[in-house]
Chain A
Amino acid sequence: MSSRTVLFELGVEELPAGEYCAMADALADALVTGLTNSGLAIGKSRVLATPRRLSVLITDVEERAKDTEQAVLGPPISAARNAEGEWTPAAIGFAKKQGIAPSDLQSIVTDKGERLGIVKVVKGAVSVDVLPTLVSQAVNQIPVSKRMRWGRERHEFLRPVQWLVLLYGSDTIDLSLFGLNASRTTRGHRFHGDQAVEVANADVYEETLRAQHVIASVEERKALISAQVKALVSDSECAIVEDDLLNEVAGLVEWPVALRGTFDTAFLAVPRQALISSMREHQKYFHIEDQNGTLLPAFITVSNIQSKNPQSVIYGNEKVIRPRLADAAFFFNTDKQTTLASKATRLKGVLFQRDLGTLADKQRRIASVAESLCSSLGADAVTVNAAGTLLKADLVSDMVGEFPELQGIAGRHYALHDGETESVADAIEQHYWPKFSGDALPLTPEAAALALADRLDTLVGIFGIGQSPTGSKDPFALRRASLAAIRILLRFAPGANIDDLLQKASASFNEGVLAPSVVETVKGYLLDRLPAHYDEQGVSVDVLRSVTAVGTDSFGDIDSRSLAVTAFAGTEAAEALAAANKRVANILAKVNEPIGEVDAALLLEPAEIALSGALGRSRDCLAAAVADNDFPEALNQLALLRRDVDSFFDTVLVNAEDKAVRLNRLALLQELRAQFLKVADLAVLAR
Chain B
Amino acid sequence: MSSLTFQELILELQRFWGENGCVIMQPLDLEVGAGTFHPATFLKALGPENWNSAYVQPSRRPQDGRYGENPNRLQHYYQFQVVMKPSPADFQERYLASLKRLGLDPLEHDVRFVEDNWESPTLGAWGLGWEVWLNGMEVSQFTYFQQAGGLECLPVTGEITYGIERLAMYLQDVDSVYDLVWSETPTGTIKYGDVFHQNEVEMSAYNFQHADTDHLFTHFDFCEREAQRLVALDLPLPAYEFVMKASHTFNLLDARHAIGVTERQRYILRVRTLARAAAQSYVGSRAKLGFPLADEDLAAAALARLAEEDRA
A residues touching B (Cβ–Cβ < 8 Å)? Answer: 13-18, 51, 146, 148-152, 154, 158-160, 162, 190-192, 252-253, 283, 301, 303-305, 307-309, 312-313, 315-317, 319-323, 350-351, 354
Contact = CB atoms under 8 A, between A and B. Distances in A.
Given A252-B112, A307-B107, A319-B175, A283 B144 contact: no
A686 B28 CA distance: 77
B209 interface: no
Interface of B: 71-72, 86-89, 92, 96, 105-115, 117, 127-128, 130, 134-137, 144, 146, 153-156, 158, 170, 175, 261-262, 295, 298
B117 A323 contact: no
6 contacts: A148-B156, A149-B154, A150-B86, A150-B158, A316-B135, A323-B72
A151 B113 contact: no
Interface of A is mostly: loop
Given A152-B154, A152-B295, A307-B107, 18 more contacts: A14-B113, A14-B130, A15-B115, A16-B115, A146-B128, A148-B128, A148-B146, A151-B87, A159-B128, A160-B144, A191-B111, A304-B112, A308-B105, A312-B108, A317-B135, A320-B135, A320-B136, A323-B71
A316 B87 CA distance: 30
Contact of B87 (A150, A190, A308, A350): A150
A307 B128 contact: no
A151 B130 contact: no
Given A148-B144, A320-B137, A162 B108 contact: no
A303 B110 contact: yes
A670 B134 CA distance: 78
A215 B114 CA distance: 19
A253 B262 CA distance: 42
Nearest to A192: B107
B115 A317 contact: no
A312 B135 contact: yes
Nearest to A15: B115
Contacts of B262: 351, 354
A146 B117 contact: yes
A319 B86 contact: no
Contacts of B72: 323
Contact of B89 (A146, A151, A190, A309): A151
A508 to B, nearest CB: 24
B107 A191 contact: yes
Q: Which of A15, A17, A323 has the most CB of B within 10 A?
A: A323
A159 B92 CA distance: 12
A268 to B, nearest CB: 21
Contacts of B96: 190
Contacts of A283: 136
Contacts of B170: 316, 319
B112 A313 contact: no
B155 A152 contact: yes
A496 B242 CA distance: 62
Contacts of A190: 96, 106, 111
B115 A14 contact: yes
B135 to A, nearest CB: 3
Contacts of A192: 107
Contacts of B113: 13-14, 51
A315 B108 CA distance: 12
Contact of A316 (B110, B115, B153): B110
Contact of B110 (A16, A152, A305, A319): A305
The 4 closest A-B pairs by CB, nearest first: A316-B135, A16-B115, A152-B155, A152-B86
Contact of A351 (B86, B144, B261, B295): B261
B134 A316 contact: yes
B105 A313 contact: no
Contacts of A51: 113
B51 to A, nearest CB: 12
Contacts of B136: 283, 301, 316-317, 320-321
B137 A151 contact: no
Nearest to A191: B106
A313 B107 contact: no
A178 B86 CA distance: 16
A151 B156 contact: yes
A316 B156 contact: no
B110 A162 contact: no
Given A159-B128, A305-B106, A316 B154 contact: no
Contacts of A304: 110-112
Nearest to B135: A316
Nearest to A179: B89
Q: Which of B72, B107, B110, B137 has the most CB of A within 10 A?
A: B110
Contacts of B154: 149, 152, 154
